[in-house]
Amino acid sequence: MQPRLGGVRVEPSHPIQGERPARAMMMKTKTRTILAALCGVVIAGPALAQACLRPEERSAIEIRALRSYLMVAALQCRTQQAYNAPEGYNAFLRRFGSDLSAADRVAASHFQRAYGGSSRGGRLDQYNTNLANEHSQDALRSGAFFCRDAEPLFRQVVQTSATALPALVNERNIIEGYSAPDCGTAAAAPAARRTAAARRR
């Protein structure tokens, strides 16, 4: 029976039996949760840093974006066009076949470095799918203008050197489907890169 003082129950100064183990268990659980969260931050930091793009990786992403765009154009612009888009795409493949294969290897290496392990293949496949879908959506939004704009690009690309292909992607504002900062400037936004480029002019 609990002692009373002036009609008020006096609570024991020591924890009720079983309270201390329960409280200790809760503290351990909270501690583990906090530690797990901190470990997640520590582990995620290097992984996020690895997702930056080296110069050769950015060029590879841009070249692959160009190939995806031209592939969609070849499919979308097969009929009712004065220019033979499928043949233009085949000419592009014949001219830059080895460069496209090299870009594929560099892109795969980037995804391996950035995401590693088994997730690398899945992320690369997802990127390829999303890129083609974005270009297809661009074609639908643009309507007849898409094929009209693709024709001079097909003619221009076969007269361009492999090293100039990335610049062509930027010049034509072709969707790249992948966003990552340049290595060494991981905190910089793409707008900051454009500002720096403007200063060099």
Q: Is residue 37 part of a domain?
A: no
Residue 92 has pLDDT above 80, yes or no: yes
Domain annotation covers residue 85:
yes
pLDDT-based confidence at residue 23 (cuts at 50, 70, 90)? very low
| Within a domain: 113 | yes
Question: The domain containing residue 60 runs over which residues?
Answer: 49-175
Look up residue 198 and give its two tokens.
């403007």
Residue 182 forms part of a structural domain: no
The pLDDT value recorded for residue 109 is 92
Please check whether residue 57 lies inside any domain of the structure: yes
What are the C-alpha distances in Å from 178 to residues 66, 110, 129, 186?
Answer: 13, 12, 12, 15
Residue 181 domain-assigned?
no
d(CA 130, CA 99): 22
For 177: left if phi > 0, alpha if psi spans -120 to 50, otherwise beta; the answer is left
Number of structural domains in the chain: 1
Say whether pTM exceeds 0.85: no
139 belongs to a structural domain: yes
| Residue 12 within any structural domain of the chain | no
Phi-psi region of 80 (alpha: psi -120 to 50; beta: other; left: phi over 0): left
Lowest mean pLDDT: which of 44-53, 90-99, 187-196? 187-196
| Residues 89, 157: Cα–Cα separation, whole Å | 10
pLDDT of residue 64: 96
